[in-house]
Structure 1
Amino acid sequence: MHQFTTVDGPVPVVGMIDERLSTTTICLASKYGSRLDPEGQCGLAHVLEHVLMSAPVGAVPSLSEYVERLGGHANAETGLDRMLFYAQIAPDDADEIAGLLYQAVLRPRWSDDVLEQEKRAVFQELAAAAADHSDVAQDAFFAHSFPGHPMGRPVAGTKADIERCGTTSVAAAHAERLLTAPLSLIVVGPRLPKTVDPVVAGIEPRILAAIGTAPATMPPSPPPLPPQPVRWSTEFTWLCAGARSVPEHDPRRPHFNVLAQLLGSSPSSLLYRRLRGEAGLAYTFYAWNRGYADTGVWRVLAGVEPGNGDAALDVIRTALDEVATKGPAPEDLASARRQARMRVLTSMDTPLDCARFLALRGGGLGSWSPADEVAYIDAVTADDLRRAAAHVRDGLRAVASPAAP
């Protein structure tokens, strides 16, 4: 049975303890993301993430390499409003790795050589993303939805800005942004490591005193750009269509999450039947909602053949309008709720997914729990979905990649 435990402190700890687990997953979550990158330094958080996982720590060449040599898995990720650093290892290694994770993220050893190495790795990431039009379409959608705002910049950064990153600017981002943002530790395993206390891990009180002291201020989001006709190319194209939704902690967030299941890629969804089954316009498509601190984004991503773009977009609009006008059929509502509920439950049953899920729900349980999340989903009504669909329909905009010149 899952048992949740919390430990208060400068770095709050949330543990999901299950003695049946044969691995331990440790995730250090920071509420510092790419939207806090300064103007002209787009990608700074992303570069910092790379450096922290690749720089020497303790007596080992890097956290990533050491964890993998132990047979485990280590990685990190940067989002708009979050950075996650995680390792999945054998429980007997958890004490040592928890300590090294704290040191790698909170007390790094800066190296010009490591920075240049990781900048080259980021350039390769950017090249791969530029070749993936599903990524390009989503970046364009955010740029269109949040013009001139940090939310509209690519999370991974731009090559020109990253080329300007030096050890001084990366160290400043660490000291001024990562260390002063709220931080939490998520542990999923058979027991808590002894080193969940950062002091035990050797982190000085002066560093811990800075955590969470930065004010969570962001410029207000500007209005989205007016909807424009999609410029379809003569190639296979990725269409991204959607609208702003609601923030992470808004009580309406589950409404948009269930709407994403109602219009998602499951054969049980309304959009699947319309877009793939009846019209045959898309084989691969997805729908999802993501809440952030002060806003949210609901979107559909679909791959369409040349000549099918406008027809596919019309099907999406019509499905949204149908739900907004009539509400979902009872059996479709029940199915969408079950799908949304299953997403929570399957995330909780996979240790690494569970750690990420808990981190992305705020980095700490507080008044929230997985059982609460399921209860919120079960409470979503047809009227809730009707209002959510109307919200998306009325704000709908779409972009495509590749786009016609």
Structure 2
Amino acid sequence: MTDVITPGAAGSGDLTAPAAPGGVSRTLLPGGLRVLTETVPGVRSVSLGIWVAVGSRDETPAQAGAAHYLEHLLFKGTRSRTAAEIAEVFDAVGGELNAFTAKEHTCFYAHVLDTDLPMAVDVLADVVTDAVLEPAHVELERNVVLEEIAIRDDDPEDLLGELFDEMLFGDHPLGRPIVGSEDSVRAMDRAVLHEFWRSRYTTPRMVVAAAGNLHHEHVVDLVAAALDRAASQVGRGAEPAPLRPADPPAPTGVRLALLPDDSEQAHLMIGVPGISRHDPRRPALAVLSTALGGGPSSRLFQQVREERGLAYSVYSSTAGYADAGSFSVYAGCGPERLGEVATVVRGVLADVAANGLTDAELVRARGSLRGGLVLGSEDTPSRMNRIGSFEIDHGHQRTIGQSLDRISAVTGEQVAALARELLEQPTATAVVGPFDDEDALPASVRG
């Protein structure tokens, strides 16, 4: 069956939501496979993604890093194509083929000329469902993944984010790095990877999303043919997998974590547990985060960098999962300035918790989010990512116009109430830098 989600109105502001004729079309195929497309006028390309509702939080400790490992490994060859042939067919048409792994999903995607869409569908489906996982390839790619972990270990900002998640979510899978650990990757064998792949990468968990110069019915026909065997393996009457059930992490009670690192800078992250991606207050959180640390006019940027010159980089960010979330502030500075940076950041958070945002901050933040949403949707990869992630994470679509309306509807009172709830919690603080132990950290960092 095919549904069409109409574009809808852009809202009462003077920004008009760009909308493809007919909106987003959705067809449910046998085997629980969902196909979503959006026609984008005026382009000659198509972006295509096969989304799988499997990520690093679906791994046991012994499987830690399996989803990311498979993201690499599935491209190493299928029963009908070698790794070289997969690369060559895309290089021959100037196309892009890649993948990414997140904590709650994985996406294998391609960006090609519209005339090369049949090839892209066929190869992507082949990669995701018919890889061979040869033992030699498992060993070869193990070294690549270990190199990626080593690169991560050389990036203090990446290490800081993982340290913060571990502190906030503890032993819960959300607290583990997406890439796994050196120990877990070294210990993982082909049998573990093959079982993880075959048991989870099934059509009820898959969404195929495409955006660009396309016809929905043509895409549906291509996908149905390419994934017919995978659909038959689960049964043609299978329904799409339900949304991820709630399994929220328990509070850890940990308030401070330090990773000593012989670096020129100190890297600081201060944050609190946030709200899930299903929480209706997500637009208010986006406004709050943008006003606090979303750009050069944000309060943190102005007070930390512009007024005091304490740090080059300072920003806030949010994460939203099916049943949990986080809000955090990052700053990188000279080790001797860490205490003053922490004092300013904590002061800003306390003031917003007590008094909310000013009217001017509210207007700027809403305008920034609205403009960024529209400007960020002007290419086919962004459109494909939007419709694919909405389907895999929410089970429905939201038009750009509806998203603009949600941002415009955020009030100062809503932001103030959310700021009080979140920012009056005890903070979690993570530091990566040249400090031997926690006692060496300034008092303002230790809270």
Shift in CA distance, 38/231, structure 1 to aligned 2, threshold 3 Å: closer
Of residues 196, 203, 215 in structure 1, which corresponds to 2:220? Answer: 196
2:279 and 2:58 map into 1 onto residues whose CA distance is: 22
Q: How does 1:234-313 map to 2 (within 5 A)?
A: 235-313=264-342
How far does residue 365 in structure 1 lie from its aligned partner after superposition? Answer: 6.9
Comparing 280-289 and 130-139, the one that deviates more: 280-289
Q: Is the 8 A contact 1:237 1:303 kept in 2?
A: yes
Q: Is the 8 A contact 1:57 1:104 kept in 2?
A: no
How far does residue 213 in structure 1 lie from its aligned partner after superposition? Answer: 4.6
Q: How does 1:310-325 map to 2 (within 5 A)?
A: 310-325=339-354
| Deviations 1:54-83, CA, capped at 9 Å, x for gaps | 323634535455323321111111111010
TM-score, normalised by the number of residues in structure 1: 0.92
How far does residue 19 in structure 1 lie from its aligned partner after superposition? Answer: 2.9
Q: How does 1:26-41 map to 2 (within 5 A)?
A: 26-41=48-63
1:12 aligns with 2:34: yes
**SS state at 1:302 partner:** strand
Q: Which residue of 1 aligns with 2:4?
A: none
Q: Which residue of 2 aligns with 1:89?
A: 112
Unaligned runs of 5+ in 2: 1-18, 437-447
Q: How does 1:58-97 map to 2 (within 5 A)?
A: 58-59=80-81, 61=83, 63-97=86-120
Q: How does 1:2-401 map to 2 (within 5 A)?
A: 2-3=20-21, 4=23, 5-9=25-29, 10-56=32-78, 58-59=80-81, 61=83, 63-179=86-202, 182-192=205-215, 194-197=218-221, 198-204=223-229, 205-207=231-233, 209=235, 212-213=240-241, 216-217=244-245, 219-228=247-256, 235-363=264-392, 366-395=396-425, 396-401=427-432
Q: Is the 8 A contact 1:182 1:211 kept in 2?
A: no
1:122 and 1:36 map into 2 onto residues whose CA distance is: 19
1:402 and 1:38 map into 2 onto residues whose CA distance is: 30
Q: Is the 8 A contact 2:300 2:315 kept in 1?
A: no
Shift in CA distance, 7/327, structure 1 to aligned 2, threshold 3 Å: same
TM-score, normalised by the number of residues in structure 2: 0.84
Unaligned runs of 5+ in 1: none
Q: Is the 8 A contact 2:167 2:257 kept in 1?
A: no
How far does residue 367 in structure 1 lie from its aligned partner after superposition? Answer: 4.8
Shift in CA distance, 366/126, structure 1 to aligned 2, threshold 3 Å: same
**SS state at 1:188 partner:** strand
**SS state at 2:398 partner:** coil
| Deviations 1:71-115, CA, capped at 9 Å, x for gaps | 111111111101011110111111121122112112222211222
**Root mean square deviation of aligned Cα:** 2.3
How far does residue 150 in structure 1 lie from its aligned partner after superposition? Answer: 0.7
Comparing 286-295 and 135-144, the one that deviates more: 286-295
Shift in CA distance, 212/403, structure 1 to aligned 2, threshold 3 Å: farther
Shift in CA distance, 138/49, structure 1 to aligned 2, threshold 3 Å: same
| Deviations 1:298-346, CA, capped at 9 Å, x for gaps | 2222211111112212222222222222121111101011111223212
Shift in CA distance, 373/63, structure 1 to aligned 2, threshold 3 Å: farther
2:191 and 2:348 map into 1 onto residues whose CA distance is: 51
How far does residue 180 in structure 1 lie from its aligned partner after superposition? Answer: 6.7
How far does residue 156 in structure 1 lie from its aligned partner after superposition? Answer: 0.6
Shift in CA distance, 182/14, structure 1 to aligned 2, threshold 3 Å: same
1:361 and 1:282 map into 2 onto residues whose CA distance is: 36
1:214 and 1:378 map into 2 onto residues whose CA distance is: 31
Q: Is the 8 A contact 2:273 2:327 kept in 1?
A: yes
How many aligned residue pairs are there?
405
Shift in CA distance, 290/120, structure 1 to aligned 2, threshold 3 Å: same
Q: Give 1 or 2 for the bigger CA radius of gyration.
A: 2
1:15 and 1:215 map into 2 onto residues whose CA distance is: 20
| Deviations 1:117-153, CA, capped at 9 Å, x for gaps | 2211111110000000000000000000011111111
**SS state at 1:161 partner:** helix
How far does residue 361 in structure 1 lie from its aligned partner after superposition? Answer: 2.8
Comparing 216-225 and 336-345, the one that deviates more: 216-225
1:63 and 1:392 map into 2 onto residues whose CA distance is: 47
Shift in CA distance, 141/365, structure 1 to aligned 2, threshold 3 Å: same
**SS state at 1:47 partner:** helix
Shift in CA distance, 257/215, structure 1 to aligned 2, threshold 3 Å: closer
Q: Is the 8 A contact 1:53 1:76 kept in 2?
A: no
Q: Is the 8 A contact 2:266 2:432 kept in 1?
A: yes
**SS state at 2:251 partner:** coil
2:389 and 2:432 map into 1 onto residues whose CA distance is: 28
Comparing 72-81 and 195-204, the one that deviates more: 195-204
1:211 and 1:68 map into 2 onto residues whose CA distance is: 36
How far does residue 264 in structure 1 lie from its aligned partner after superposition? Answer: 1.9
1:57 and 1:260 map into 2 onto residues whose CA distance is: 47
